[in-house]
Structure 1
Amino acid sequence: MRSALSHIGRISGNIGASAVVALAILAGNAHAQIAADGLMPRAPLLITPMVSGILLCNEGNQRTELTTLEQIEEWCEKNHQTRDLAAKAALDELEPNGPAGKVQLGYTLLVPLLELYEKQGNDWRISPARAKKYLNVISVIDRPVVVYLMGDHYDSSSALSQELARDPQNLLAYASGPVPVTRYIGHGIIPFTLRTDENIPVNRYRFQALRYMTQQLRALDAPTRSRIAAVTLAGEIHHMYPDFENGVGEFDHIKVTDYRPESQQEFRAWLKDKYGTVERLNRKLGFRYAAMADIEAPSLDIRTQPLKTFAQHYDAYAAGTLPMSGWLWDPEKKIDQITLHVDGKFHAAVAVGLGRMDVYRAKPEVTTPNTGFRGLIDFSAMAPGKHVAQMVASSKGKRFLLGEREFVVVPPDQSSTSAIPQPQRLKGLPEAGELASVQLWLDRPKPLQDVYYNPMAREWNRFRAHQVNQLLDHFYRIARAEGLPADLLYSHQIIPETNGAWNPVLFASDQSISNTTPWRTGINQYGASPYVFEYLNERLVRAYGVPEFNPLQGRNPEAARAALVRHYQAGARFVSPFFISVVPARLRAADDKRLFDIATDNPVDGNDAFHDTLQWFVRK
């Protein structure tokens, strides 16, 4: 979720209608175009902010003797104040006359599935009373609602979650053992399994709660049920890696999941289903396995660990792809295009406009976090030896060298490649850094990066992506079996590829976003990278939702307006700003940095300006 869930916890295409509209948005003049009715006709876009403290009532919040969220919640219930919700008042303040027009204000209702349970003797049973509290919110707030049925690693605050975390069978595993429980911005992270076996205790509980809540949603009276605009499933489903909060950009010494014995057995079954026989697998991949049972998921780095067979090698590049990435700040828009060339020839297009919050926060003169670029070098079929990759920038018909790196494709036996001739390269190109006002940096690969292609590593990464899809599919099939309409069901996925400094291999989640999944696509967006629209277009995704959104652009308030307009034009069904809070200020944690708290008194990353943007947008 990459979000401040510590505040929520248990409470909780074409840019324009015409060239004129498009240019106005790019120039930051979205306000004037909205006021001039410049939006293309379509169904209303729902702005559905996640609300922290959604079960709290107004009077309970004002009682200073109540010192915890639980006490306020209990007071509200005991004193029959559960219809006077603070969230309702906050939403009515943003859009005073109720939802109407082309942009309508609703809200997102977070329901952590494992928090629906209470201990009864030695058993954990679903508490109808707890579930009813969430259902009551839908009845009380007469606005469109996105119901977020959370069952991922963020569902970690309940006593049941803590108990499940002590049982390794519920957890993902590195090759070295279970993934430890960790934290993200003050919120607990429990690396629950991605396997779908309902005999695993955590699955038994979260799938049972999913069935119960979908049944309860269906049982709502028709007027209340009609407010449900979408149901997002599970949360950010992906694989795990060390240092959850800071390790997203690790490439040199990666550890990934899931190496539990049962998961590896499923990997072998997946390979058998794909290849049929071990003989055919050997022919296709170039190995000499005697039987499928002999296959192990690759987990060893050939540089530092002894291998029995090359099929055991695994690192960030072993699947045959080497990223070439960095950042470019070009405030005067002098560079028109960036292309990737290998050995003097065009190799691949380069993604630009990727999020680089690290650069944005470190350099005051940079006014957008969307400065990242990345090209992918497919070396799986390249000859052994040294190669050279060059990033080439075009400016007014002239080419400039943005950066270059030599890399070495090493054969599986690690034999010497020194006798192989030097590669060809583009010569005589002036440096892009010579262009006035342009700043740039090439982060990776490191000089003379050695790479080893292991076909089994490629299969392992594909299987890991398959596991992500399978779990999402299981949530989807349960929701459908209980009668929720298909057009209401969305994923709630993060897109690592939109973040220029992240390593998508760690997550293995990109295949869950396409136009072929039975669920509708839901993508979380932080930093408002324009690349997300290219990403969706490449996958032919049209109707989609944004279950979490925060532009994080305090230096450019117009960026949030432009991003919201572009989501409108691209066909988003809903956008859920993350987050607005109705939790009393006296109950904020001492170390609360308010990174995502959208409020008029919070200048962090422009959250105050974003609040003004939301108010402006929903009133148009």
Structure 2
Amino acid sequence: MSHCAPACRLSLLTLATSALVGLSAWGWLKVIPASDRHAAPQRPVAVSENPAQSVAIPALAERAQPMYLLLTVEGLDYCPENDTSDALKADLVRQNFDNAAHLQHLLESIEPGGAQGKIQAGYVITTKLLSLFKPESDGQGWTFDAGGFACQLRLVEKLDRPVALYLSSTHFDTQGPLPQKLSQEAANLALFPDLKPATLSYFSYPIVPYTLQTDGAIAVNHYKRQALAHIHQMVQALAPEHRRKIVAIFLGGETHQFYQGFEDGMGEFAQPVVTDYSPASQQQFRAWLAQRYDSIDALNQAWGSALPSFDAIAAPAGNFRAQPQTPLLAHYDGYAQGSVPVHGWFWDASGTTEALRVYLDGQYIGPAQWGLNRLDVYRAVEDIATPAVGFRMNLPFDRLPAGRHMVSITHAQGAYECLMDERVIEVLRPAPAAGADAPLDFSDKHRVFTSMRDKPLRCPQRAKAGKRYYLDSPAWDMKVAFNPAARDWNLFRQAQVRAYMQQLYDWAVEMGYDASLLFSHQIVPELNSSWNENLFATQGSVAADTPWKPGFNLYGAGAWSPWTQDFLQRLAPQEGGYGIPEFHPQQWKDARSARAAIAHHYNAGAHFLSPYYFSIIPPQYLQDPTSNAVARMRLEAGNSADGSNVFYEAIREYARQ
């Protein structure tokens, strides 16, 4: 880390999605006029509204409790008791940097006179659990070092403002001697198929893929639990009037599976490499399958296999693209679960398009989900007014016969329907008599499929006007194969993520943490139309049936969009029942967007939004906003990058109501 990189350091320690979402192009951006191309259909999901419709700012509804704007602030941990091996921290300590005074000044500039009214300004204290340990004097163990967290807790005593505690225990908790030690031991890690301990990176910052195994005896889990217990004791030692200021606790951080190419590989479908193939995880997978299927005969019937026992099962880790002789049951890629993502982007300047329709072999399947995040398109095309132009349908192919099939997508408005594009996919299976243990049959299986070009669609020229779009996936003549073992592997990996979140929650409740304050701090990949959500496997960890309250990060179009509305309806949270631990609309073309997003979340019952991010570091240490994707999101009046100044003013406006 360079001496002048505090903003980058903060972001990488406290979130994994801001820059990910901010840079979520994945693939080459293609902008093609409607007149130059035809299109293919998209997967069936009702469209809540046309993203091109004008932004309306709703009036604030009546609600019993305030909504909190809990600012993520760089510099809160810079104090004498904390580790001063970092050059910037050492500089600030020598200058008697007073984080409490600077934070108070910032909060007063946002909401003068203290927290009051419908929307109240506060802040987030971020603490990395594993980094709170130091080696014992004899070098034989580790001791919890309370100094750094005690420094931050003093903010709670000094400031009469609402505060959230972010107890981070994720792959970004890599600084300090204990994380470095833990990262060298395979038992602490989620492993890729080569079973070698791996250290990944995110914009040059090292990350460690810690295990999602829930065994408390594993060293990394042991120390996380110890840190949670010590922190609870320190919080309980606060006077009651100070403890009451704590309005939320973010538990765990972004808990998910890992994949190679962590920085920019979130859209990899063809040859993804994922976790966790460790011996413990493989054994857990076999036990999970035994519970799911009851008997090996039932599994063999479901898989079309002839396995002698559950002990004979290995998680799929091969790929026919790299090794054509890979047996079907060993094949794993982003399509092997039995669906093809039909995704791209669509912009209608008139705002009159009602649906994007997906067809398979000429038969209507349903509407694509529309309004997903495509910040890359928003940045690249000046006259596209919103990043909510992504569309997607996960089109099932698991029951299709082998051979070529046509996928088509249209845009529809009233009685008019126009073809956008269409692509051929080729479904592969083993030879009919071979069974699922055999390699795939690549012999030509020509099918006479139906193109929508042969359909009598009503598409006058006026119905095409003002439409811009591109179909990114599937690629033409893309080969796909359904492997039931890969489908179950993905479901199991989702279960691992949820089980680990459950373990953290159970530990916290057993220790005495207030369960009503416990929120997840999750990433929701489905927000981005081009991402492979199975790389992360978080689908079950932000849901209506979790004991913890749903907390999930929103950037770009996700700040408020048709997708966000649909997601909240599925979560069905009560007032105060959800929160946004990281929040930045990243929109500047319409100043109303940020204000509308804040108002909509207030009316939807959000307990808090945590705007990302502010800084109390002296200006001479700050990076130029144009220098990297994280600095672009620094919230201040003079930073127009990513609409940060627009969002800054919206925060001030609502905090003063």
Residue equivalent to 1:262? 280
Residue equivalent to 2:644? 607
Contact 2:409–2:421 (CA under 8 A) maintained in structure 1 = yes
Equivalent-residue separation in structure 2 for 1:76 and 1:11 (angstroms): 25
1:160-204 deviation line (CA, Å, top 9, x unaligned): 222322223322211123363233245332221121222222222
Equivalent-residue separation in structure 1 for 2:11 and 2:427 (angstroms): 48
Q: 1:325 to 1:10 in 2, by over 3 A?
A: closer
Displacement of 1:408: 1.7
The residue correspondences of 1:64-79 to structure 2 (distance < 5 A) are 68-73=88-93, 76=96
The counterpart of 1:6, out of the listed 6, 9, 13, is 9
Equivalent-residue separation in structure 1 for 2:456 and 2:538 (angstroms): 41
The counterpart of 2:61, out of the listed 39, 44, 50, is 39
Percent identical pairs in the alignment equals 32
Residue equivalent to 1:553? 587
The residue correspondences of 1:49-68 to structure 2 (distance < 5 A) are 49-56=71-78, 68=88
* Unpaired segments ≥5 residues, structure 1: 13-21, 61-65
Displacement of 1:252: 1.8
1:517-553 deviation line (CA, Å, top 9, x unaligned): 1111001001032112212323434421100001111
Give the length in aligned residue pairs: 593
Equivalent-residue separation in structure 2 for 1:230 and 1:482 (angstroms): 16
Residue equivalent to 1:498? 527
Contact 1:386–1:417 (CA under 8 A) maintained in structure 2 = no
Q: 1:556 to 1:444 in 2, by over 3 A?
A: same
The counterpart of 1:540, out of the listed 541, 550, 572, is 572
Equivalent-residue separation in structure 2 for 1:198 and 1:74 (angstroms): 41
Q: 1:279 to 1:73 in 2, by over 3 A?
A: farther
The residue correspondences of 1:178-197 to structure 2 (distance < 5 A) are 178=196, 180-197=198-215
Residue equivalent to 1:164? 182
The counterpart of 2:103, out of the listed 61, 69, 87, is 87
Displacement of 1:102: 1.1
Equivalent-residue separation in structure 2 for 1:513 and 1:11 (angstroms): 19
Contact 2:7–2:622 (CA under 8 A) maintained in structure 1 = no
AA aligned opposite 2:271: H
Bigger drift between 212-221 and 365-374 goes to: 212-221
Residue equivalent to 1:101? 117
Alignment of 1:422 onto 2:448: yes
Q: 1:87 to 1:306 in 2, by over 3 A?
A: same
Alignment of 1:450 onto 2:479: yes
1:89-137 deviation line (CA, Å, top 9, x unaligned): 2011110111111111111111111121122221221012223112212
The residue correspondences of 1:78-477 to structure 2 (distance < 5 A) are 84-121=100-137, 122=139, 123-178=141-196, 180-305=198-323, 307=325, 309-413=327-431, 414-415=440-441, 418=444, 421-426=447-452, 427-429=455-457, 430=459, 435-477=464-506
Equivalent-residue separation in structure 1 for 2:327 and 2:11 (angstroms): 48
Displacement of 1:576: 0.4
Displacement of 1:417: 7.0
Which structure has more RCO (C-alpha within 8 Å, separation ≥ 6)? 2
Contact 1:514–1:541 (CA under 8 A) maintained in structure 2 = no
Displacement of 1:418: 4.6
Equivalent-residue separation in structure 2 for 1:404 and 1:10 (angstroms): 42
Equivalent-residue separation in structure 1 for 2:389 and 2:462 (angstroms): 15
| Secondary structure, counterpart of 1:481 in structure 2 | helix
Q: 1:569 to 1:278 in 2, by over 3 A?
A: same
TM-score (norm: length of structure 2):
0.85
Contact 1:249–1:501 (CA under 8 A) maintained in structure 2 = yes
AA aligned opposite 2:648: H
AA aligned opposite 2:613: F
Displacement of 1:376: 1.3
Contact 1:4–1:595 (CA under 8 A) maintained in structure 2 = no
| Secondary structure, counterpart of 1:110 in structure 2 | strand
| Secondary structure, counterpart of 2:449 in structure 1 | coil
| Secondary structure, counterpart of 1:301 in structure 2 | coil
Displacement of 1:589: 5.4
Contact 1:384–1:417 (CA under 8 A) maintained in structure 2 = no
| Secondary structure, counterpart of 1:263 in structure 2 | helix
| Aligned alpha-carbon RMSD (Å) | 2.7
Bigger drift between 317-326 and 523-532 goes to: 523-532
TM-score (norm: length of structure 1):
0.90
Equivalent-residue separation in structure 2 for 1:228 and 1:582 (angstroms): 21
The counterpart of 1:587, out of the listed 621, 626, 635, is 621
Contact 1:147–1:228 (CA under 8 A) maintained in structure 2 = yes
Bigger drift between 436-445 and 342-351 goes to: 342-351
Residue equivalent to 1:514? 543
